[in-house]
Amino acid sequence: MTSLRYLSFFLLVWLMSGACRSRQQANTTADSTQTATQSTKPAAKSIVLTERLTALGLTQSGHWRGISLGDSMATVATAEKGQPFEQDATHVGYTIEFPNLESADFLYYQQNGRVSAIDVDLYLNTRPSVVAYGKDLTAYFDQRFGQAVTRAGVTLWTGPQQEQIILKEVSKGKDYGLKIKIAPAGAGTLIVSAK
């Protein structure tokens, strides 16, 4: 009778062990199915906006501050909050100042009432500021327009309509700065050579 008890006990332990294993396999299969389903969902493309980029007013849309080449100049007037510091028949310019006495000027050029090009001048205080803004802007434009090409100190991106976005350091002595030019296809040679 004792051997029958031992046999029953071992049989019971073996059955329970098998039941636990099949439950673990079911959980593992469910988890891996869920993981596979989650990984096939397309990831939303989100652009990282650092504090510096946010201070510049950059957004996840438009070429600069939500403004794109081809937008009406009325869109520029609506988007820019301040008064222009200069304005004529060919362009309008705005400036922003930062608490650390750095600033940026934006010039929106027009043809037929539409934005035809954008120039940005960043006036910075130190070499580390130039490096930090350069790094942030490069990452921003890489996320927006793909990997840049760098040659002769100029970093160039090509947008979906073949527009060119150019970033160049323009520091001289203790005057630190960066220049950004955004123009349609075909204007690139003028942009690269412009100071």
- Map the chain to HEC letters: CHHHHHHHHHHHHHHHHHHHHHHHHHHHHHHHHHHHHHHHCCCCCCCCCCHHHHHCCCCCCCCECCECCCCEHHHHHHHCCCCCCEECCCEEEEEEECCCCCEEEEEEEEECCEEEEEEEEEEECCHHHHHHHHHHHHHHHHHHHCCCEEECCEEEEECCCCCEEEEEECCECCEEEEEEEEECCCCHHHHHHCC
The Cβ of residue 70 has, within 10 Å, a number of other Cβ atoms equal to 13
Q: How far apart are CA 115 and CA 145, in angstroms?
A: 19
Res. 54: pLDDT tops 70: yes
For 96-112, write each residue's pLDDT tens digit: 999 999 999 999 999 99
In this prediction, residue 3 carries a pLDDT of 54
- Residue 123 CA to residue 117 CA, distance in Å, equals 20
Domain ranges of the chain: 1-41, 51-193
Question: How confident is the model at residue 189, as a pLDDT?
Answer: 45
Is 192 in contact with 154 (CB distance < 8 Å)? Answer: yes
Q: pLDDT tens, 110-164?
A: 999 999 999 999 999 999 999 999 999 999 999 999 999 999 989 999 999 999 9
| Residue-level pLDDT at 38 | 39
Q: What is the mean pLDDT of residues 80-91?
A: 93
Percent of the chain having pLDDT more than 70? Answer: 73
Strands 103-111 and 91-97, by their bridges, are antiparallel
> 108-119: per-residue pLDDT in tens?
999 999 999 999
